[in-house]
Structure 1
Amino acid sequence: MTMAQLPKDPVMLLSFTNTQLRDFYPNLSEFCKAFMVDETEIVQTLKGIDYEYDTTRNQFI
């Protein structure tokens, strides 16, 4: 799955990303590598809806 295949809607992207982080990936970097997406793009998209990645919780909050 590439960024083109990830949900376009920021709220859906948030839900998808947090679920993947919770269930399969130890951190955002590993998630991005697995999906071959730019970490900065995901962070900026979710920042646009006031969510930031928390490394200690391994989720966007």
Structure 2
Amino acid sequence: MSIETNFNQDLIMEMDPFILLSTINTKLRNDFSSLPALCERYDLNQSELMAKLGEFGYEYIGEINQFRMP
């Protein structure tokens, strides 16, 4: 089963933070023009995703459509 077919809220909340960061940033770079668009497509809770990555010091920067450390 690929991550594409199994990408959901439960999976992202259990993922290693560095794999999650890489996966989300790759999807944002290659497939989505914004975080809300990605979250809508996969029915993800945007606030929870941002909080999860925020726990490790990352924040979403809309101008560059990526999560990065400030």
With normalisation by structure 2, the TM-score equals 0.81
Structure 2 alignment gaps of length 5 or more: 1-6
1:53 matched residue in structure 2: 60
Partner residue of 2:38 out of 31, 39, 57: 31
Distance 2:61 2:11 in 1: 24
Deviation at 1:10, TM superposition (A): 1.2
Worse-superposed segment, 7-16 or 31-40: 7-16
Residues matched between the structures, number: 61
Worse-superposed segment, 3-12 or 26-35? 3-12
What TM-score results when the alignment is normalised by the length of structure 1?
Answer: 0.91
**1:60 aligned counterpart, secondary structure:** strand
For structure 1, the 5+ residue unaligned runs are none
Q: Which one is further off, 3-12 or 22-31?
A: 3-12
Instruction: State the AA in 1 paired with 2:31.
Output: F
Correspondence for 1:2 among 5, 8, 31: 8
Normalized per residue, the structure richer in helix is 2
Q: Displacement of 1:8 after TM fit?
A: 1.4
